[in-house]
């Protein structure tokens, strides 16, 4: 029998007084956003993907200057990101991907190319070492499950481990391997699907948030708190997730559209405009992600085929990305968004988001 989730369980494990986690998000979740969420009693989470070790360390130190509350640091543990693939082994794929991208380059007067992208640096393990040395309060893993040795090292450093999964089976593995909290990511989630390896399209789609939460709650049988993620933007979402057995929620898209987020004004404006719809694509980075549908996503769906592995697809597209950002072009860059984006109508401070989500849920649940 399912019982409503208890936010006190989350407080006991990760020290939050509000059961609201803000997702680590590259290019969005810097120290100001993280501190604003943590200062409001939630858990702000820094994004460390693609950061060099000194940048991870200085971001952690900046957060510590801005808050004394617990915070987290997130990184992907995806097989092909932790050990980046060798681009030289994919020369045929490079040519086919670049040919498709060449059809888009004239939009920004960029020259056509069939060149291989620069190899991706190997940064994940170095970032993990910094997190362990810094004895961060919470380690947040996405796109892969931390192995028991890594979990043990974090635990020895006094760090709690929070792991995001998109299937019941991965939730069970994460708990068996020592994670202290499981985040159940439903298909509505903005950004990348939380799988540790690339899945075929049909499997990558996943399970809806409100189907997945009770499945995960039952599968892990109360051993650790479960947090719900995907399409949740307000107190109604927190209340509903609580009734399904979640001890709290993790939100990404809602926090993209806040004053402290480092997202561009273009992205924030699109999120609160209500215009458009979201799709899953692997054309931007090589991994499946939910974004606002655009001319790029339609072009890739029609002509794209297989992308480059790991994050090499993002590297192959780097010139297009730079040009799209410089031109404020919303059709050729990934505007990550969860399916709940069209419920967003404002750009509040992140602390106000935490307070209003908790207050609305409290009223709905009569607590
Ligand atoms: C802009 C953006 C960037 C994200 N970056 C990361 C990331 O670096 N690491 C990670 O584990 N999850 C990342 N996510 C996924 C979130 O952890 C989470 O599953 C999702 O945001 C929840 O759905 P919502 O966006 O509808 O709230 C990102 C999401 C967004 C919207």
pLDDT in tens, the chain (367 residues): 567 888 889 999 999 999 999 999 999 999 999 999 999 999 999 999 999 999 999 999 999 999 999 999 999 999 988 888 888 888 899 999 999 999 999 999 999 999 999 888 889 999 999 999 999 999 999 999 999 999 999 999 999 999 999 999 999 999 999 999 999 999 999 999 999 999 998 899 999 999 999 999 999 988 999 999 999 999 999 999 999 999 999 999 999 999 999 999 999 999 999 899 999 999 999 999 999 999 999 999 999 989 999 889 999 999 999 999 999 999 999 999 999 999 999 999 999 999 999 999 999 999 7
Residues 229 and 289: their CA atoms lie apart, in Å, by: 14
- Residue 354 structure tokens: 């935490």
Give the pLDDT confidence score for residue 100 in this predicted structure.
97
Q: What is the atom index within ligand 1 of the atom nearest the CA of 185?
A: 19
Is residue 231 in contact with ligand 1, taking CB distance under 6 Å?
A: yes
Give the pLDDT confidence score for residue 120 in this predicted structure.
81
Adjacent-strand bridge partners of 278: 292
Is residue 304 in contact with ligand 1, taking CB distance under 6 Å?
A: no
Q: For residue 189, report the distance from its CA to the centre of ligand 1, in Å.
A: 7
- Residue 172 structure tokens: 């069970």
Mutate to test the pocket of ligand 1, among 30, 76, 164, 189 (most ligand atoms within 8 A of CB): 189
Q: For residue 26, report the distance from its CA to the centre of ligand 1, in Å.
A: 9
Work out whether strand 289-292 and strand 278-281 pair parallel, antiparallel, or are unpaired.
Answer: antiparallel
Q: What is the atom index within ligand 1 of the atom nearest the CA of 230?
A: 23
Q: What is the atom index within ligand 1 of the atom nearest the CA of 140?
A: 11
- Residue 198 structure tokens: 């690339």
Give the pLDDT confidence score for residue 222 in this predicted structure.
87
Adjacent-strand bridge partners of 292: 278
Give the pLDDT confidence score for residue 89 in this predicted structure.
85
State the fold for domain 7-85+120-259+345-360. TIM Barrel (3.20.20)
Q: For residue 172, report the distance from its CA to the centre of ligand 1, in Å.
A: 21
Q: Give the closest residue to 82 by CA, choosing from 52, 46, 127.
A: 127
Q: What is the atom index within ligand 1 of the atom nearest the CA of 47?
A: 8
Q: Residue 121, by phi and psi: left (phi above 0), alpha (psi -120 to 50) or beta? A: beta
Is residue 226 in contact with ligand 1, taking CB distance under 6 Å?
A: no
Q: For residue 47, report the distance from its CA to the centre of ligand 1, in Å.
A: 10
What is the radius of gyration, based on Cα positions, of the chain? Answer: 20
Burial class (CB in 10 A: 0-12, 13-18, 19+), 92: exposed
Is residue 196 in contact with ligand 1, taking CB distance under 6 Å?
A: no
Q: Which residue has the tokens 């810094």?
A: 134
Residues 76 and 47: their CA atoms lie apart, in Å, by: 9
Q: For residue 250, report the distance from its CA to the centre of ligand 1, in Å.
A: 9
Q: What is the atom index within ligand 1 of the atom nearest the CA of 251?
A: 27
Q: For residue 112, report the distance from its CA to the centre of ligand 1, in Å.
A: 32
Contacts 24+ apart (CB under 8 A), 305-309: 305/96, 305/100, 306/93, 306/96, 307/97, 307/282, 307/283, 308/87, 308/90, 308/93, 308/94, 308/97, 308/117, 309/80, 309/85, 309/90, 309/198
Is residue 212 in contact with ligand 1, taking CB distance under 6 Å?
A: no
Q: For residue 23, report the distance from its CA to the centre of ligand 1, in Å.
A: 6
Name the strand (E) or helix (H) holding 18: none
What residue segments make up the domains of the chain, in order of their start? 7-85+120-259+345-360
List, in sequence order, every beta strand (DSSP E) within the chain. Answer: 20-22, 44-47, 71-76, 138-142, 160-165, 181-185, 191-192, 226-229, 248-251, 278-281, 289-292
Task: Please report, for the chain, how many H helices and E strands are present, in that order.
Answer: 17, 11
């Amino acid at each position: 029998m399912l019982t409503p989730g208890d936010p006190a369980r989350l407080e006991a494990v990760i020290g939050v007084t509000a059961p609201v986690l803000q997702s680590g998000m590259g290019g969005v979740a810097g120290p100001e956003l993280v501190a604003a969420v943590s200062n409001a009693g939630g858990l702000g989470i820094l994004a460390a993907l693609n950061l060099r070790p000194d940048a991870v360390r200085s971001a952690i130190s900046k957060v510590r200057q801005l808050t004394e509350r617990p915070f987290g640091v997130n990184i992907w543990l995806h097989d092909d990101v932790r050990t980046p693939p060798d681009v030289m082994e994919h020369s045929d794929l490079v040519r086919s991907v670049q040919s498709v991208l060449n059809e888009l380059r004239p939009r920004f007067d960029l020259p056509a190319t069939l060149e291989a992208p620069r190899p991706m640096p190997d940064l994940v393990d170095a970032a993990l070492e910094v997190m362990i040395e810094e004895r961060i309060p919470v380690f947040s893993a996405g796109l892969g499950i931390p192995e028991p040795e890594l979990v043990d090292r974090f635990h020895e450093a006094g760090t709690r481990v929070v792991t995001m999964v998109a299937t019941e089976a991965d939730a069970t593995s994460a708990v068996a391997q020592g994670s202290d909290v499981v985040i159940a990511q439903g298909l509505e989630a903005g950004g990348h699907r939380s799988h540790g390896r690339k899945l075929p399209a049909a499997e990558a789609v996943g399970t809806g948030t409100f189907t997945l939460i009770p499945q995960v709650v039952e599968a892990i049988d109360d051993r650790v708190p479960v947090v719900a993620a995907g399409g949740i933007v307000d107190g109604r979402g927190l209340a509903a997730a609580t009734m399904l057995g979640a001890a709290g929620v993790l939100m990404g898209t809602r926090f993209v559209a806040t004053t402290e987020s480092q997202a561009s004004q273009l992205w924030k404006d699109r999120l609160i405009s209500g215009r458009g719809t979201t799709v899953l694509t692997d054309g931007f980075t090589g991994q499946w992600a939910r974004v606002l549908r655009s001319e790029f996503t339609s072009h890739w769906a029609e002509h794209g085929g297989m992308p480059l592995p790991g994050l090499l697809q993002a590297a192959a597209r780097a010139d297009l990305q730079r040009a799209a950002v410089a031109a404020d072009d919303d059709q050729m860059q990934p505007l990550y968004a969860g399916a709940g984006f069209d419920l967003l109508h404002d750009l509040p401070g992140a602390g106000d988001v935490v307070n209003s989500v908790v207050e609305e849920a409290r009223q709905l649940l009569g607590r």
